[in-house]
Amino acid sequence: MSRRRRGRDVNGILVIDKPQGVTSNAVLQQVKRLYGAAKAGHTGSLDPLATGVLPLCFGEATKFSQLMLDSDKSYVARGRLGIVTDSGDSDGNVMAEKPLPEGLDQAALEAVLPRFRGDIEQVPSMYSALKHKGRPLYEYAREGIEIERPARPVTIHELTLLAFDGENFDIAVTCSKGTYIRSLVEDIGEALDCGAHVTQLRRTKAAGFDLDQALDVAELEARREAGESLDPLLVPVDAALTEFPKILLQDAQIVSILNGQPVKMTGHPPGWVRLYGGDQFLGLGEQLPDDRVAPRRLVKQA
């Protein structure tokens, strides 16, 4: 007997403004329940302390969640100098308190930032979701176990000092995937020889979506209770893929692509491309060096 699928088919992306104090997975499950969706996932978790842009993928959109996870992201963060915590943020336990350098001012703080711009290496936090032997590092950290973590290359595209009051500093960061803002703030504190930890963190952009497009979960709850359909709030699947070139296929090419066969196509450099039949998004293909486009991730057609 086949297992009955729970939930309905929902396809698209919903951009949530994640509230503080809850996990990204808790938000995902809450919104999935509101939609009664059979399949949903998020595109990279935010710490409970963090707020901001959290794109959720439903149905066919989950096929592209890894590409969204790989995108650059932007944050605004506040760091507190002179206090080091085990988690790198204010949710952790204080491990050390150090005096701030004498005469530390905005110019002195600004002077250390260039070393963290561009291509750098960063040691991930023990409180990250990176896995070691199948378990996330934060589980080891909660058990008091320290795992050796090699430094990883990341790119800080932009790092701007927004404010400094002598103790707390605000920065705006745009960075590559895999960048840990907690580690960045800790490293800035280390460069000043006084340590630091994150007290506020807000993601302002992810997968091409920004805060202007983000919805509150409470607003979704209110609309649902009022009997409104939430489906019109969903963003089309291809809205997160606009960085890839668009290719419009002819009828015969559409048939070949949907049957899993490459088609002859020139004029695009090798890499991912968006495939369309008229206004209908078919999925992602790959432009090959031999002037063919091969289907890679197709969406189910109605």
70: amino acid identity, one letter: D
The H or E element containing residue 296 is strand 292-298
In three-state secondary structure terms, 277 is strand
Strand 51-58 to strand 196-206: parallel, antiparallel, or no bridges (unpaired)? parallel
Please indicate whether residue 47 is annotated as part of the active site. yes
The DSSP 8-state label assigned to residue 235 in this structure reads B
Instruction: Tell me how far apart the alpha carbons of residues 213 and 34 are, in angstroms, rounded to a whole number.
Output: 19
Contacts of 277 (CB under 8 A, 6+ apart): 248, 249, 251, 254
Q: How far is CA 118 from the centre of its chain?
A: 19
Q: Active-site residue among 17, 47, 86, 89?
A: 47
Q: Are 34 and 230 in contact (CB under 8 A)?
A: yes
Q: What is the residue-wise DSSP string for 34-99?
A: HHTBS-EEESS---TT-EEEEEEEEGGGGGGHHHHHTS-EEEEEEEEETEEESSSBTTS-EEEE-P
Contact 257, 285 (CB under 8 A): yes
What residues act catalytically?
47
